[in-house]
């Protein structure tokens, strides 16, 4: 009987963990901190050389600290820089120093609208007020995109165009941190 009770408790905990809802923040491909914007999805380490595409209009949003050995700015474009950002301080999203600095290219020409059901377009938190994001590899595949119990955040911008061929349902939407139900 004790074993059965323990088994039921473990099963309940697993079901609660699997069915719990998360907060999903949309990642646009112009996010400096997102793998989406970098050639071969390789973000720069703290001592790498950052390059932007030439002959392209680069519109980039930088919201977290970053460090690089050098940055070659684009000929044309706009850099949106977040509040209290420190250039020269390693960001949590960056890898440690390489022995030899590598060139990392921010790649804007290979972009399309984000797909709602593609996990690479989402950062996941357990709660909206938490700063740290979950490692998506620690979640089951179906938990890596929003569902009907999730909160979806579109962090900036007036409008977002998301590609989906199905009806999308979620618990609440926060657009520019204005809640709507």
Angle at 90 between CA 94 and CA 137, to 5 degrees: 30
Give me the residues paired with residue 60 across strands. Answer: 79
Nearest to 24 by CA among 142, 164, 166: 142
pLDDT the model gives residue 65: 87
Token representation of residue 3: 């074993």
- 64 and 46 assigned to the same domain: yes
| Boundary-marking domain end, from 106, 129, 163 | 106
- 101 and 39 assigned to the same domain: yes
pLDDT the model gives residue 158: 45
Residue 6 falls within a domain, yes or no?
no
**In terms of DSSP bridges, do strands 122-125 and 70-72 run parallel, antiparallel, or are they unpaired?**
unpaired
- 90 and 125 assigned to the same domain: no
pLDDT the model gives residue 16: 44
Residue 12 falls within a domain, yes or no?
no
pLDDT the model gives residue 9: 58
Residue 8 falls within a domain, yes or no?
no
| Boundary-marking domain end, from 78, 106, 134 | 106
- 39 and 95 assigned to the same domain: yes
pLDDT the model gives residue 50: 92
pLDDT the model gives residue 7: 63
Residue 7 falls within a domain, yes or no?
no
Token representation of residue 51: 């390059």
- 39 and 102 assigned to the same domain: yes
Helix (H) or strand (E) holding 14: helix 2-19
Q: Which domain holds residue 23?
A: 19-28+113-180
Euclidean distance between CA atoms 94 and 104, whole angstroms: 12
- 83 and 137 assigned to the same domain: no
Successive 10-residue mean pLDDT values, the chain, 181 residues: 65 51 79 80 90 82 88 85 87 87 80 70 78 76 83 68 76 68 52
| Boundary-marking domain end, from 106, 130, 153 | 106
- 95 and 127 assigned to the same domain: no
**Number of neighbours of residue 111 by Cβ within 10 angstroms:** 12
- 119 and 156 assigned to the same domain: yes
Helix, strand, coil % in the chain, rounded to nearest 5: 20, 25, 55
Give me the residues paired with residue 140 across strands. Answer: none
Euclidean distance between CA atoms 78 and 93, whole angstroms: 22
Residue 5 falls within a domain, yes or no?
no
Work out how many domains the chain is built from and give that number: 2
- 130 and 69 assigned to the same domain: no
- 99 and 134 assigned to the same domain: no
Residue 10 falls within a domain, yes or no?
no
- 81 and 120 assigned to the same domain: no
- 98 and 119 assigned to the same domain: no
């Amino acid at each position: 009987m004790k074993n059965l009770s323990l088994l039921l408790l473990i099963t309940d905990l697993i079901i609660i963990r699997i069915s719990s809802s998360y907060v999903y923040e949309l990642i646009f491909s112009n996010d400096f901190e997102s793998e989406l914007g970098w050639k071969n999805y390789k973000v720069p380490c703290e001592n790498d050389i950052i390059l932007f595409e030439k002959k392209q209009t680069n519109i980039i949003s930088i919201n977290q600290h970053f460090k690089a050995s050098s940055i070659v700015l684009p000929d044309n474009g706009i850099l949106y820089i977040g509040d209290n950002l420190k250039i020269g301080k390693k960001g949590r999203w960056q890898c440690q120093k390489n022995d030899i600095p590598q060139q990392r290219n921010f790649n804007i020409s290979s972009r399309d609208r984000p797909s709602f059901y593609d996990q690479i377009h989402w950062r996941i938190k357990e709660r909206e007020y938490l700063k740290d994001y979950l490692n998506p590899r620690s979640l089951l595949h179906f938990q890596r995109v929003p569902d009907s119990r999730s909160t979806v955040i579109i962090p900036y911008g007036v409008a977002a165009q998301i590609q989906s061929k199905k009806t999308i349902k979620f618990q609440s939407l926060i657009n520019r941190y204005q809640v709507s139900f």
